[in-house]
Structure 1
Amino acid sequence: MNTFRNHLLEEFFGNISNGLNRFSFASSFSSSPLPKTKKRRFPIVSAVDIGGVTVARNDVVRDDDPTNNVPDSIFSKLGMQLHRRDKHPIGILKNAIYDYFDSNYAKQFEKFEDLSPIVTTKQNFDDVLVPADHVSRSLNDTYYVDSQTVLRCHTSAHQAELLREGHRRFLVTGDVYRRDSIDSTHYPVFHQMEGFCVFSPGEWNESGKDSTLYAAEDLKKCLEGLARHLFGGVEMRWVDTYFPFTEPSFELEIYFKEDWLEVLGCGVTEQRILKQSGLENNVAWAFGLGLERLAMVLFDIPDIRLFWSDDERFTSQLFKGCSFMMITLLRCLLADKIDSQMSIGPQYLRK
């Protein structure tokens, strides 16, 4: 079976020379100490383009608002949209997921990938039933532009808006923002894809099944197919979990490289979400996945910060079909990018 992962291995790693074992090499290098470099002040960007709209720095980074905690290092990432770059690992993975849905659902799923990441607190929290006292609402977890506006923490922030506009099956892809410590697997800016599917009463009545059971079975069938599309014939398991916006809720895990890997979270949408959009007689499912998390596995990328490199040594090595995990390249990238321009650790976070 020619899976997406096999295609990646053939296309990007087929020309590895000198007998390098990229799996053991990546793991051994990731634990090596990084060369120390002098930290530099992050350059200030005066404006960014978001979906064709120019957004000024002073509209997002507000020194006069005590609620605002958006630093320049985060503002500069707005509008970069790595998921819309077809030759970037994030863009390649996004398109592979699109291919799965287009092939298996006859292009029934609409695609949205240029929605503004600046949303209201109602969109980000209330519309997806995040409790008023939930820790994710705190200034320590979320980037606030002002008391009523944030940088979205998840692509679910657009669910209610799209449902009210009449969309019933859709994929939303975009950059999301969460205040987090920075290391090889965590970064305060990353990319998510949200999937949403609404069913009418006639669909589950015809099956003779309960609406929730019908949606849950359809959801699992869809996502198991997606996992096979990306990873091949891997072993899978479903784990019951909790999300405020779905019930029941699940996580899909695959057995990969002798360990269980969480692929995505999903569930049957809470009826309150559908009711507030005028769909109280329907049932729906939703899923969300982190593109960086999966791309790091599929491309064997050892450090999440490398996704943000604008160094041609990174992209040229990757897309010439050679493994970019070559010691000279990585040491250079990690030394002069991660510890300086790419790093936006606590020393850069205002408040």
Structure 2
Amino acid sequence: MLDKVTKLIHDVQAFNATSKDEIEAFRIKYLGSKGLLKDLFNEFKTVDNSLKKDLGQALNNLRNSATDKVQELNDSIENQQETKSFYGDLTRPSEPIELGSRHPISLVRNRIVEVFSKIGFTVSEGPEIEDDWHNFTALNLPEYHPARDMQDTFFVEKDPDLLLRTHTSSVQVRYMENNEPPIRTISPGRVFRNEDISARAHCIFHQVEGLYIDTDVSFADLKQTLLYFTKEMFGKSKIRLRPSYFPFTEPSAEVDIYWGLETEVDYKITKGTGWLEIMGCGMVDPNVLKNANIDPEKYTGYAFGMGIERIAMLLYQIPDIRMFYENDVRFLEQFKSVL
């Protein structure tokens, strides 16, 4: 009988299974209520006492071996099933992956940055919650200037010196304070103004402002930079500069591009003139340079600024600025194929 039990232990250790059914059949054969171990323990009672010690140890080894084998095989089968369900059938055709949409404001912002980076402009950023000095005073806006009125600016109630920036020119002031000329940078970002929301205006919008400071910088340099930008951005090579006023530039100008009158849409967006205003610009006022600790006797510079929403509305013929902020998936999906 001892030889029989020893052979069964060997058979148990050599057993292998590939399914739950095979493992269950093995368990019933050895450990079931009518299994081999039950019969062997019944037979054990009739064995001579001198043989019971060795035979009892062998029967316990057989029971332990069978129990361990069942657990081992069950664990192996479960691990295989988990791996298969995690990776799935690798031979199946994959599901089409839906491409997300880029927001038109992001598309236009990235394009503007790309255009100016080709001629050496770096990108600078600053805080959206700004102080009076960087947003107004350093930019040559005196205390009585209308832009300081509550109707234009969102002030922080707990600190009258803090406000939501009304333009990204504040970033340029910070950049000038921390960098020595030559300076060539653009400052894209979100700005805030306390205005009524309509199809053409919003209290939140985005700007890109540019700054170039060096020795012997002239208005002609500014014009050539703007001409380069309009050619790259719009494919238009005809611009005009109209005299204007900004507190931080002198002289100042509004920049128009000739959009043309080839279609009915052209007539509509240009109001029949063929010209479209796209940005403001000018030579940096000497007082602004002085406020940023730059010697206006040695250095000159130009600055320009444009609204990203306005550029996007022109490029994609979007009639209402509010569409940028409504999170309408139908609107955003139009820009899926645009890289």
How would you bin the TM-score normalised by the shorter chain?
Answer: 0.5 to 0.7
1:144 maps to what in 2?
155
1:190 maps to what in 2?
205
- Which structure ranks higher in relative contact order (CA pairs < 8 Å, sequence separation ≥ 6)? 1
Contact 1:127 1:273 in 2 (8 A): yes
d(CA) in 1 for partners of 2:146, 2:288: 21
1:111 maps to what in 2?
123
- TM-score with structure 2 setting the length: 0.62
SS in 1 for 2:233: helix
* Structure 1 residue 240: Cα displacement: 0.8
SS in 2 for 1:184: coil
After superposition, the C-alpha distances for 1:32-65 in whole angstroms (9 at most, x for unaligned) are xxxxxxxxxxxxxxxxxxxxxxxxxxxxxxxxxx
Contact 2:154 2:192 in 1 (8 A): yes
Check if 1:243 corresponds to 2:255.
no
Contact 1:239 1:250 in 2 (8 A): yes
Percent of aligned pairs sharing the same letter: 36
* Divergent runs of 4+, >6 A: none
d(CA) in 1 for partners of 2:104, 2:323: 11
- TM-score with structure 1 setting the length: 0.60
Check if 1:159 corresponds to 2:176.
no
SS in 2 for 1:144: coil
After superposition, the C-alpha distances for 1:177-226 in whole angstroms (9 at most, x for unaligned) are 001111111110000011001112xxx3xxxxxxxxx4211011001110
Alignment of 1:73-222 (within 5 A): 87-103=102-118, 105=119, 108-113=120-125, 115-145=126-156, 146-166=159-179, 168-200=183-215, 204=216, 214-222=217-225
After superposition, the C-alpha distances for 1:205-259 in whole angstroms (9 at most, x for unaligned) are xxxxxxxxx4211011001110111111353211011111111111110122242
Larger gyration radius, structure 1 or structure 2: 2
Structure whose residues are more often helix by fraction: 2
Contact 1:190 1:292 in 2 (8 A): yes
d(CA) in 1 for partners of 2:110, 2:101: 8
Contact 1:86 1:92 in 2 (8 A): no
AA aligned to 2:213 is V
Alignment of 1:252-291 (within 5 A): 252-256=255-259, 257-258=266-267, 259=270, 260-280=275-295, 281-291=298-308
AA aligned to 1:299 is Y
* Structure 1 residue 86: Cα displacement: 8.7
d(CA) in 2 for partners of 1:263, 1:271: 25
d(CA) in 1 for partners of 2:253, 2:293: 25
Contact 2:101 2:333 in 1 (8 A): no
Root-mean-square deviation (CA, aligned residues, Å) is: 1.8
SS in 1 for 2:218: helix
Contact 1:255 1:261 in 2 (8 A): yes
- Of the candidates 228, 244, 247, which is equivalent to residue 231 of structure 2? 228
d(CA) in 1 for partners of 2:286, 2:140: 11
After superposition, the C-alpha distances for 1:245-283 in whole angstroms (9 at most, x for unaligned) are 111111110122242211110110011111222221211
d(CA) in 2 for partners of 1:166, 1:137: 28
